[in-house]
Amino acid sequence: MKTQTLVSLTALLSLAGCASQQKPAPEHTPPPAQEATATPPVEAPPLAPAEVPAIPLQQPKPMELVVLARPDTPIVTFRLVFHSGSIDDPKGKEGLTALTATLMAEGGTQKLTSAQLLDALFPMAAELDTSVDKEFTTFSGRVHRDFLPRYLDIFTDVLLAPRLDAAELERLRTNAISTVENGLRSANDEGLGKAALDALIYEGHPYAHYTGGTVQGLKSITLDDVKAHAQRVFTQDRLVVGLAGAVDDALKQSLLSRLGTLPATGAPRVTLPTVTATSGRAVILQKQTLSTAVSMGYVNPVRRGDPDFFPLAFALTHLGEHRQSIGLLFNELREKRGLNYGDYAYAEHFIEDPGTTYNRTNIARTQQDLTVWIRPVDPSHAVFATRGALYFLDQLVKEPIAQERFDLMRGFLQGYSRLWEQTDPRRLGYAIDSLFYGTPHYLEQYRQALTKMTPQSVQEVLRRRLHPAALNFAFVTQDAEALANALRSGQPSPITYASDKSQALLDVDKSIIGLPLPVRADAITVTPAQSFMEK
Amino acid sequence: MRRLLPLLLLLLGIALPAFAQSTSSPTQAFPYTLKTDKLPNGLTVVRVPYPSQGIVSYVTVVRVGSRNEVEAGKTGFAHFFEHMMFKGTPRHPEGERERILGTFGFDDNAFTTDDITLYYSYGPTAGLPQLIDIEADRFRNLEYSEPSFRTEALAVLGEYHKSAAAPFLKMEETLNAAAFTKHTYRHTTLGFYEDIKAMPEAYQYSRDFFQRWYTPDNTLLFIVGDFDDDQVMKLVRENYGPWDRKTSTITVPTEPPQTQPRNAHVDWPQPTQPRQVLAWHTPAASANTNNAAIQTVLVAYLVGPTSPAYKQLVLEQQLVESIGSDYVDHRDPHLFTLTATLKDERHRDRVRLALLREVSKVAAGKVDAARVKAIQDNARYGALMALQTPRDVGIQLGWYAGILGTPDGLQRHLAHLAKVTPAQLSEFTKRYLQASKLTQLSLTPKVDTAGGTK
């Protein structure tokens, strides 16, 4: 139960929002082999690479400034992005970066207690938030220009002179532990499945632990740890400064001169290890729940800036753009078969930007993942739904997308991608991400690339760069042993429907029911959800 | 008592401001112009120019929600029906909407609440002619097969299961069942679980539901963004003009006054924080009273981030993770709530009594005028900050229009907020936040040592 602000769009949309759409016409069903429009490749697709090296992201110059000023708004948007994240958490103190950032943003400044900070921001309706991901930490702010001088003092004090007091540390630590114990493990099967997949595919890697920390890691953090960490990771050499909206030269200079008192440098950059690609592993988290949540994916060497990224991203949007009913999985698994509430696919790591259906910005990663998300299904359909997702992923590798569908999806992305950049915070976010990925004008480049793609050119990329056999799986379910046995046995997963289905659908089902899942019988782990992210 | 009075008055064209055409000017709190027309069939069409460079949002709000579900066994239907609205027509069979709107890249979605169902499409202005055509067609001529209906019922069940993982749905179900004995607010928007499971059998009822509520006189359309107004209105008149059904009238049972305190409890079989909810019966939101504005201000006053309760319980004593409210404006009298997420079961009474003390202070006339002004400033600037895109503007306008039954509902609400006085907060609290009208809900985790997964 959340506090409802006056007109919180997020709250409105979270009331009972739901996408609900229709199935595609028959020609959108993956065509039978004899209707394939291209000559099937004679050689088998290449295997997934055995290793995904950590090719460093680009490094903007210290305190690089990104400004997107516009005259038609009274709002100023701040976006300070540090190339520091949960990978900077020391071993045994998982959660330190997130807890430090939260304490800075919420715990007051040397001039203002946390309560006074809230009092000061409240009449302005000003925003001051932080969010932490694996490699990046963002401090974001928005304020009406009526309050700019006062807000600028507060916003910069949060970074330059945070209060960092012991009582606030205890409060926020307790909340962070509760987020793991009561939130992630207990009340959010979907989030739990995604975090479990992260932990599985990045095992032993600094990405593996939950960004918010582990229970024992959070418990071990001291106030001295926080003070030292702020100096180590929130430094000029890791910072990009974003300003948008009602911005003038005076504001730019004032902000930069103040931030110039941050430490110039701090801790050496974390050297990310090569990921030794695993495949066919499954983790089943056992907890009391009505349904089964499914996430699957693998570490993916293709990231923004790679010439193959745009075709891959396009294909994954065709398969399942997040919470859009146009995706193939949504239509096949939800709309036609009624298995669940939604089914989506992602060419890069995805975290929903609150109140939207778009990916958050400034969560760039050196080593990306490619994932498929099956929203909770009836436990009796868990294996069928997993096979179903795999079947349609396989189709992408085997056959080009039909021209009509291809044209539809190209049009869709030309328009839909414009929605991703409709607000100042998001525009800044994209511009800042482009510095790290080396992809200037990223969305415009994407739209340009779309005009040149063909079904054949995309399929050629998919054949080389999409690897269904490399998938790993995370499930959240109540009867974990039954699911583990079903996965181990490889037995067919038949399905019956409560309403009439077309013969074409039943024919596809025949292929899905017995489809071999790339799960190794000796690589299935059952874990109680209550022990997840303990340490 | 006829709870549909505002709607009936709207039909008769009296009491509420009658308008065939009107233009509202920008204000400090809402810096946009509304151009409003009412078609002869009763459809209200509002256009809002917004400098969005070729992007438009198209919001249709139907004044139907779970509040309208008066028949036993049919709860959750407004929400289920929202799903069915995407299933096609004879002219645009299932799948065609997706192809037409998908080509342009529209974000196309909807949500249902206790009182309204809101549909929105958000994308390039270039697709507006096709959008108007396909939208008018579905509101006039929706048609779907029984197998399609049965399949979609399973997606709705999946939605329920997804939501059931967290304790909030169970809490809302339990609170509503305790606080309401007769009114349809007794069930949540998703509906009773048993009714959701029975949905596949209700095909004919769904057809009736469409005829009953999806009518031009029960619907408001908002078009926000960068478009040619004359061209758009011409298309709207052509496409929506022939839509000719009249809305039904039903009697939503009146909730009898609560005369004794009530309690309800949830044992949650998994680890979670203990929770406490205080819920009082309070008046409905309406266009011509400030009851909704008072309650909005009261939430911020009692449990907002600058409230004494927040400072004491969250920051200083750290007895709770958070305090807040689930108050949402409703068409009929609903609940004013205060909520606390506790850190420890042992502090439940201490927290509960602290919240009640804050209520008592306000009822006794001890209201800090400076804090009220700060809340009003927050509301005014917060409204400006919240309207970042045509989608934001369209959904906010649609939401308030749907609840309040007038196209300028949002502006009225903002105007009411600016006028709330400390004395009004005190009078309202004294009158409505009384012990006899209070329902208390507690939730306690009950977990066995093996992890509570029996």
Q: What is the mean pLDDT of residues B53-57?
A: 96
Is A275 in contact with A51 (CB distance < 8 Å)? yes
Cα–Cα distances in angstroms (integers) from residue B271 to residues A124, A183, A467, in the given order: 38, 9, 38
Tokens of B254: 């009146």
pLDDT, residue B452, reads 35
Q: What is the mean pLDDT of residues B233-248?
A: 95
Read off the pLDDT of residues B299-350 as tens digits, 9 standing for 90 and up.
999 999 999 999 999 999 999 999 999 999 999 999 999 999 999 999 999 9
- Quote the crossing angle between the two packed helices B369-386 and B291-303, to the nearest 10°: 110
Q: Do residue A174 and residue B321 have CB atoms under 8 angstroms apart? A: yes
Q: Do residue B339 and residue A125 have CB atoms under 8 angstroms apart? A: no
- In terms of CA atoms, which chain B residue is nearest residue A119? B306
What are the phi and psi torsion angles at A67 (to 5°)? -120, 130
Our separate counts of H helices and E strands in chain B read 16, 12
- In terms of CA atoms, which chain A residue is nearest residue B157? A340
Side-chain-side CA neighbours of B165 within 13 Å: the count stands at 28
pLDDT, residue B453, reads 32
What are the phi and psi torsion angles at B409 (to 5°)? -55, -40
Q: Do residue A17 and residue B110 have CB atoms under 8 angstroms apart? A: yes
pLDDT category at B22 given cuts 50, 70, 90 is confident
- In terms of CA atoms, which chain B residue is nearest residue A476? B165
Q: Which of A125, A170, A497 lies at the smallest CB-CB distance from B382?
A: A125
Determine how many CB atoms are found less than 10 A away from the CB of residue B444: 17
Q: Do residue A75 and residue B190 have CB atoms under 8 angstroms apart? A: no
Distance from C-alpha of B81 to C-alpha of B50, rounded to nearest angstrom: 31
Q: Which of A75, A122, A411 lies at the smallest CB-CB distance from B378?
A: A122
Q: Compute the Cα dihedral for A501, A505, A511, A516 and give only its sign.
A: negative
Which candidate, A323, A425, A363, A475, places its Cα nearest to that of A68?
Answer: A425
- In terms of CA atoms, which chain A residue is nearest residue B188? A16
Cα–Cα distances in angstroms (integers) from residue A187 to residues A190, A192, A287, in the given order: 9, 9, 10
Shortest Cα distance from B50 to chain A (angstroms)?
11
Q: Which of A118, A407, A415 lies at the smallest CB-CB distance from B124?
A: A415
Read off the pLDDT of residues B353-401 as tens digits, 9 standing for 90 and up.
999 999 999 999 999 999 999 999 999 999 999 999 999 999 999 999 9
What are the phi and psi torsion angles at A359 (to 5°)? -75, 145
Q: Which of A182, A291, A416 lies at the smallest CB-CB distance from B161?
A: A291
Q: Do residue B152 and residue A119 have CB atoms under 8 angstroms apart? A: no
Q: Do residue B95 and residue A357 have CB atoms under 8 angstroms apart? A: no
- In terms of CA atoms, which chain B residue is nearest residue A168? B315
Cα–Cα distances in angstroms (integers) from residue B220 to residues A9, A436, B60, in the given order: 19, 45, 6
Q: Do residue B123 and residue A416 have CB atoms under 8 angstroms apart? A: yes
Task: Give contacts of A142 with chain B, Cβ < 8 Å.
Answer: 385
Task: Give contacts of A189 with chain B, Cβ < 8 Å.
Answer: 162, 165
Which candidate, A233, A237, A223, places its Cα nearest to that of A89?
Answer: A233
Task: Give contacts of A118 with chain B, Cβ < 8 Å.
Answer: 305-306, 310
Q: Which of B122, B148, B171 lies at the smallest CB-CB distance from A419?
A: B122
Q: Which of A21, A186, A500 lies at the smallest CB-CB distance from B271?
A: A186
pLDDT, residue B20, reads 67
- In terms of CA atoms, which chain A residue is nearest residue B274? A182
Q: Do residue B271 and residue A185 have CB atoms under 8 angstroms apart? A: yes
- In terms of CA atoms, which chain B residue is nearest residue A404? B99
Is pLDDT of B280 > 80? yes
Task: Give contacts of A185 with chain B, Cβ < 8 Å.
Answer: 271
Q: Do residue A19 and residue B109 have CB atoms under 8 angstroms apart? A: yes
Distance from C-alpha of B327 to C-alpha of A299, rounded to nearest angstrom: 44
Q: What is the mean pLDDT of residues B439-446?
A: 96
Is B98 in contact with A24 (CB distance < 8 Å)? yes
What are the phi and psi torsion angles at B95 (to 5°)? 100, -25
Mutate to test the interface with A, among B56, B64, B109, B355 (most CBs of A within 10 A): B109
Q: Which of B55, B106, B451 lies at the smallest CB-CB distance from A422?
A: B55
Q: Which of B107, B159, B269 lies at the smallest CB-CB distance from A288?
A: B269
Side-chain-side CA neighbours of A469 within 13 Å: the count stands at 11
Mutate to test the interface with A, among B270, B335, B395 (most CBs of A within 10 A): B270
Burial grade of B434 (CB within 10 A; 0-12, 13-18, 19 or more): middle
Distance from C-alpha of B404 to C-alpha of B412, rounded to nearest angstrom: 9
Task: Give contacts of B303 with chain A, Cβ < 8 Å.
Answer: 3
Query: Could you say which DSSP state residue A330 is in?
Result: I
pLDDT, residue A365, reads 98
pLDDT, residue B441, reads 98
pLDDT tens, chain A, 535 aa long: 333 333 343 344 333 344 333 332 333 333 333 333 444 445 677 888 889 999 999 999 999 999 999 999 999 999 999 999 999 999 999 999 999 999 999 999 999 999 999 999 999 999 999 999 999 999 999 999 999 999 999 999 999 999 999 999 999 999 999 999 999 999 999 999 999 999 999 999 999 999 999 999 999 999 999 999 999 999 999 999 999 999 999 999 999 999 999 999 999 999 999 999 889 999 999 999 999 999 999 999 999 999 999 999 999 999 999 999 999 999 999 999 999 999 999 999 999 999 999 999 999 999 999 999 999 999 999 999 999 999 999 999 999 999 999 999 999 999 999 999 999 999 999 999 999 999 999 999 999 999 999 999 999 999 999 999 999 999 999 999 999 999 999 999 999 998 899 999 999 999 999 999 999 999 999 999 999 999 9
Whether the full predicted model's pTM is greater than 0.75, yes or no, is yes
- In terms of CA atoms, which chain B residue is nearest residue A336? B151
Shortest Cα distance from B12 to chain A (angstroms)?
30
Give the sheet arrangement for strand A292-300, strand by strand: A343-346, A368-377, A292-300, A472-477, A282-286, A524-528
